[in-house]
Chain A
Amino acid sequence: MTAPLIELINVTKRFGEKTVLDRVNLTILEGDITTIIGKSGEGKSVLLKHIIGLLRPDEGEILFNGKQLKSLTRKEQKSFKQQISYMFQNNALFDSLTVFENIALPLREKTRLDEDAIKSKVLAQIDRMELAEVTYKYPSQISGGMQKRVALARALVSEPKIILFDEPTAGLDPLRKNVVLSMIAHYQKKIRFTAILVSHDIPDVLFISNRVAIIDSCRIPFQGTPMELEQSENPVVQQFIKGQASLKDELTGLNTKQNIKKMFIREMGQVNRLHESFSVVMFTIDNLKQINEHIGHIAAQQIIQCLGTLIKDHFDTADTSVRYSQNEILMVLPHTGLNKAKQVLDELAIDLQKQEIFQAKSYPKACFSFSILSGLAEAGPGMDLDSLIEQALSHQKIIAHLECEKHGETA
């Protein structure tokens, strides 16, 4: 195992009565992208400020290459600071300097490059960040997203060995978020700097990270690779991952997949105890990928949302429908036999076909086809969830359909 570049050992920080970090241990490996995730106000930024030396711990040690930060000689401190760069959460741009001057400042002050070399380096960064049209504007004259990119350019321009990013994608549009994250990943591979990121952009940020640390209740209960994070049984990590999943399904108004097992066990208990049957229905949106491609994510989201709402209206079982996968909704119908379920399903099919999402005029510029399928299965004693779902899938048939004809007409 490689020796840690930066190590925090039992770091404690208090602001007055409030403890922000409580015996925090964290290891940063050289050349890795380490992401620190956690709820707002949990001390992520405070942790970063300790690493760069803006704050000093009340207790504990911070080691850089095995040496205590506070015991570094002046020369070593200088060399440490020259290797490290920090991108602030609020950008901290110099508001009386232009975008160009902001990015050029670290080069002008800390290097012996001539003005031409500085200019070409800064303009290259400006080009990469798509800031050419605001080069000579002041930070207050540009948008928040642009300010973020200027701060990123300023952090990268001196090509440091360690970069600390405090929420680099906060306030950016989804397109630019991806651009910024891929830019960090790209530069990291190119320059091989060590990155420490604080971010809320889960799961996107995990794709570029080598290591993840979760900060919770002033401590770090987990640190490891993203794979280890996913498989961790640590309750805090689980809560965090589930929290992310449930947030996603909040958008569609449906329960999360994690609830399905609990629901199934409860209903099977009823079946075994009272010999009462229950049914499951599996809805599948066929061709959702094509909708994503032709129309966009919002249209796809609306279709799922519309289906979710109608299911809730018709079956009056809001708590028992879950988003099983990206294009599947699974519903458990307690105390409902197959016949009754079929009857309600037919009514739902009629209603569904009348919805705006199945009208070609809702998509004037695109020609595509999609359908919604549903399949029923009745649960009996001793059955498991997987076989029940399999049964429902095998009985699926189309209940609503939109067909694109030559000139975008519906069938």
Chain B
Amino acid sequence: MAQVTNSIFAPFNRLGKVSIAFIGELGAIAIFFIHAIALIFSLPLQVSKTMQQVFFIGAKSILIILLVGLFTGMVLGLQGYYTLVKFGSEGVLGAAVALSLIRELGPVMTALMIIARAGSSMAAEIGIMRISEQIDALDTMDINPIRFLVSPRIVACIISFPLLTAIFDVIGIIGGYLSGVCLLGINSGIYLNRIETSVVMQDVSGGFIKAFVFGIIVATICCYQGYFTHMRPGGFGAKGVSLATTSAVVLSSVLVLVVDYVLTSFLL
């Protein structure tokens, strides 16, 4: 009888364990984030280290953001035109492209692109530092590893994400213009006028809030995964770093999409 009861409850037990582990992990990430945020303001401020990270995460991502933004805008223009033309309202193409980009696609696509480019490298770099005892070495020198490694990256992401999102939005609108106006023959004035009349400040600030939150999420998750590489069950050394990098990319991408939905529902 006891065996039957056990087998019935076994899946629930497992589910319970997984849930507790998940909640525990979220708590650990939150503490890690609060710690890193608090250390941003400890003196002396790490301006040069932060600028280096802004250069790596932000400036070096511009090209990829330009490319992705351009083609996203172009494909939006193309798809939007053929959908809108069925209803005879191709004139609102400018508004459709601009609103989709500014409210949704700009922050999300930018976050996903930076996760792929910089998030993975953050996790890998910090992970390698962990397994080669470089983080322990910082600790022995009385240099707080979270302040030294994580805080500048979080600040850099907070600065870079909204800026890159803005670039993405602008270049996306230009992409939409290229396909809508130059290729499909919509009137240039109508395209731009629709953008001007439909986009309000709330759309822009909503997009920036999203970019700001995504920046925090991506930096925290990627640094956390790298920082605790050695705590991963079953993954040691190089394998541990590879698992940490994979988790960092997957988890932060999923969280970006989940948080995007939550934020959108609040912002609308």
Q: A interface vs B, CB < 8 Å?
A: 49, 52-54, 78, 81-82, 84-86, 88, 90, 92-96, 105-106, 109-110, 158
What would be 25 A-B contacts, judged by CB atoms less than 8 Å apart? A52-B140, A54-B136, A54-B139, A54-B140, A78-B142, A81-B140, A81-B141, A82-B142, A84-B140, A85-B140, A88-B137, A90-B132, A92-B132, A92-B136, A93-B134, A94-B129, A94-B137, A95-B132, A95-B134, A96-B125, A105-B141, A105-B143, A106-B143, A109-B141, A110-B143
Cα A53 to Cα B141 in complex, Å, equals 11
Cβ of A94 and Cβ of B141 under 8 Å apart?
no
Interface residues on chain B, size class: 10 to 19
**Most central of B132, B136, B137, B139 by chain A CB within 10 Å:** B137
Given that A81-B142, A85-B141, A106-B141 are known contacts, is A90 also in contact with B148, CB under 8 Å in the complex?
A: no
Cβ of A86 and Cβ of B137 under 8 Å apart?
yes
Cα A12 to Cα B142 in complex, Å, equals 25
Query: Which B109-144 residues have C-beta < 8 A from chain A?
Result: 125, 128-129, 132-134, 136-137, 139-143
**A87 CB, nearest partner CB in chain B, Å:** 9
Q: Is the contact region of chain A dominated by helix, strand, or loop, or is it mixed?
A: mixed
Q: B interface vs A, CB < 8 Å?
A: 125, 128-129, 132-134, 136-137, 139-143, 148
The 10 A-B residue pairs with the shortest CB-CB distance, nearest first, are A81-B142, A92-B137, A92-B133, A86-B140, A106-B141, A109-B143, A52-B140, A54-B136, A92-B134, A88-B133
On chain A, the residues within 8 Å of B136 by CB distance are 49, 54, 88, 92
Cα A379 to Cα B148 in complex, Å, equals 75
On chain A, the residues within 8 Å of B141 by CB distance are 81, 85, 105-106, 109-110, 158
Cα A78 to Cα B143 in complex, Å, equals 10
| Cβ 8 A contact of B133, one of A82, A90, A105, A106 | A90
On chain A, the residues within 8 Å of B148 by CB distance are 109
**B195 CB, nearest partner CB in chain A, Å:** 44
Cα A86 to Cα B134 in complex, Å, equals 12
Cα A84 to Cα B129 in complex, Å, equals 21
Cα A273 to Cα B56 in complex, Å, equals 88
Cα A88 to Cα B135 in complex, Å, equals 12
Known: A90-B133, A95-B132. 7 other contacts (CB 8 A): A78-B142, A84-B140, A92-B133, A94-B129, A94-B137, A109-B141, A109-B148
Cα A52 to Cα B136 in complex, Å, equals 10
**Most central of B128, B133, B136, B142 by chain A CB within 10 Å:** B142
Cα A267 to Cα B140 in complex, Å, equals 59
